[in-house]
Amino acid sequence: MSVEMRMLTLSVVLGIVQIIAASHAASLQRGYRWTASHRDEKVEPLGVWPAVAGVQ
C-alpha cells in the first residue's frame, strides 16, 4: 500500500473516531435518555467539560 493510501486510511479512521468521541461527550453531558429521546423542547448549549476547564 502506498504512503498516500495509508495516510488517507488513517485520516478516515481518525475522522470517525472524532465523530464518535464528540457524540459520546454530548451523551455524557446530557444523559443517554436525552440522546435517545425526541428533541421537541429547547435545551441550553453544551458547556465545557469540568476537567478541561480546570475545575475539580
State the pLDDT at residue 52.
56
Supply the Cα-derived Rg of the chain in whole angstroms.
17
Beta strands in the chain (DSSP E): none
Give pLDDT tens digits for 8-24: 999 999 999 998 888 88
Which H or E run contains 50? helix 50-53
Q: Which three cell numbers stand for residue 45?
A: 448549549
Alpha carbons 32 and 24: distance in angstroms, whole number: 9
The answer to whether residue 55 scores a pLDDT higher than 60 is: no
> Model-level pTM?
0.60
